């Protein structure tokens, strides 16, 4: 089909539709709404259509098709995707003066393991302790890693002092040297 023929067919269809709208039946026909789960109220317009020319008359004939703006099948109804934000979180519980007191500092657990001792004739005993893969030979009065001082040995325990907090700790030695 060439362009001239197609244009003539389209113009003919447009003229036929316009003629039906303008010269068609004066009483609007009822159209059944699509079947849906809810019924939508339809506002009917009963007005006398004044004699108007052309397109205005056609628009007046279509006025009966207006439905409620909030209906789900309204053609140009506005829809909003706005979701209100959640309420703000509740304020934290009030704190008392007793809960604001910091905890008493404590020394960390001893990082050393006792492995044995040796007491040469007439000399002070030597104790062997490990930390990881390192072995230390210590005597009473020595300082380990500038953090622990060796204070005493009471027969079954080595007494060490954690120097930053001046807290004394005990390392089990098993028995006397």
Note the pLDDT tens digit of each residue in 127-144.
999 999 999 999 999 999
Q: Is the pLDDT of residue 113 over 90?
A: yes
Q: In the chain, where are the structural domains located?
A: 1-26+43-70, 113-172
- Report the alpha-carbon angle 101-105-109, nearest 5: 150
Considering the segment(s) 113-172 as one domain, its CATH architecture is Roll (2.30)
> pLDDT at position 67, please?
53
Single pTM value for the model: 0.43
Residue 114 contacts residue 173 (beta carbons within 8 Å): yes
For 83-93, write each residue's pLDDT tens digit: 999 999 988 87
């Amino acid at each position: 089909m060439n362009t001239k023929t197609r244009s003539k067919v389209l113009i003919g269809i447009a003229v036929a539709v316009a003629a039906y709208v303008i010269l068609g039946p004066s009483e609007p026909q009822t159209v059944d709404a699509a079947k849906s789960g809810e019924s939508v109220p339809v506002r009917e317009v009963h007005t006398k259509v004044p004699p108007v020319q052309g397109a205005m008359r056609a628009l007046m004939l279509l006025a009966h098709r207006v439905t409620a703006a909030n209906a789900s099948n309204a053609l140009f109804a506005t829809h909003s995707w706005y979701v209100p934000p959640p309420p703000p979180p509740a304020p934290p519980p009030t704190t008392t003066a007793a809960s604001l007191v910091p905890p008493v500092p404590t020394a960390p657990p001893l990082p050393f393991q006792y492995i044995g001792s040796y007491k040469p004739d007439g000399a002070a005993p030597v104790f062997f302790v490990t930390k990881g893969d390192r072995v230390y030979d210590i005597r009473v009065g020595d300082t380990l890693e500038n953090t622990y001082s060796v204070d005493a040995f009471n027969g079954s325990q080595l007494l060490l002092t954690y120097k930053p907090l001046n807290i004394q700790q005990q390392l089990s030695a098993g028995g006397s040297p």
